[in-house]
Amino acid sequence: QGSITTSWITAFNQVGIVPEEVYTGINYDSKLHNHSEMVEYMTAIAKEAVNMKKSSPQYEQLINSLFDIYLGKVPEKFTYKGKEYTPKSFAESLGICTDDYVMLTSFTHKPYYEPFEIEIPDNWEHDRMYNLPLDELIEATDHALTNGYTVCWDGDVSERGFSFSNGVAINPEVDDVDEYKDSDRARWGQMTKRDRLAEVFQFKHPYPEVNVTPEVRQQGYESFATTDDHLMHLTGIAKDQNGTKYYITKNSWAADSNKFGGYLNMSESYVRAKTIFVMMHKDSLPKELKNKLGIK
């Protein structure tokens, strides 16, 4: 289970796509996708092929039958809005050129402005993404969002500061008393770190956040504090009462999965620290950055 955007691009180009109302991919007793049982059977079947060091015709039949049972048979043809398509012809009708999308990241262990294969388990495709200085990664994201584009975000949602139910993701600096803007600073200064954490994670109002430098970000990546967990959709920018910037983010956990219509706001500090990579259309990039990367 799990992949990044490149696996979707590969599937889109190889076999096409179908509307969800034509094919839900759910052929079991669930309203939402849940592949945990299917993956257990898939792993058992694949393990035998690995042990035998060959992929027999029976293996192909078994694994495809498993997918048909759990996901349903993929339609060879279908009618959508009065027109007949195959998955490939429907993909072609959408006018999406996957070559027009670029992936950007920021880590200090690789040269800047050059692509590299990011070292995460879900990069099955061994794909490469452009490495940028952290500030330029943020600038590119902001440029896209303020010029009518949206951004695919891949990152870490396992942090205590990520609270989908409260519609927010923050990266609090609980030790920084001087930066605390609340009127009750004296009380804050007398609290233990444990008590400060307990108060922060009630998510009642903004607190100071970590100043995320490239070094802080790199340390999180190399210590596995920052992991590749989830993909979401950045749709805009907002600010709180203190002027702190947040990224308006659409999650994929259904519109009724929280009281904010399936959205949350991720603070800039959280995004700087916990982004693995972003993907956006090449036309959304700042002109200067396109020139640096040699993108036409």
270 sits in which H/E element = helix 268-274
Q: What local confidence, expressed as pLDDT, does residue 223 receive? A: 96
pTM passes above 0.75: yes
How do residues 218-238 score in pLDDT, each as one tens digit?
999 999 999 999 999 999 999
How do residues 7-53 score in pLDDT, each as one tens digit?
999 999 999 999 999 999 999 999 889 999 999 999 999 999 999 99
* Residues 273, 111: Cα–Cα separation, whole Å: 19
256 sits in which H/E element = none
Residues of the chain with CATH 3.90.70.10: 98-171+209-293
SS3 per residue for 52-89: HCCCCHHHHHHHHHHHHHHHCCCCCCEEECCEEECHHH
Q: What's the Cα-to-Cα distance from 256 to each of 93, 101, 132, rounded to whole Å?
A: 31, 30, 36
Question: Rounded to the nearest 5°, which phi and psi values hold at 246?
Answer: -130, 155
How do residues 117-175 score in pLDDT, each as one tens digit?
999 999 999 999 999 999 999 999 999 999 999 999 999 999 999 999 999 999 998 88
Q: Tell me which residue has tokens 């294969």.
A: 117
* Residues 137, 154: Cα–Cα separation, whole Å: 13
CATH number of the domain located at residue range(s) 98-171+209-293 in this protein? 3.90.70.10
User: What does the pLDDT average to over 246-251?
Assistant: 98
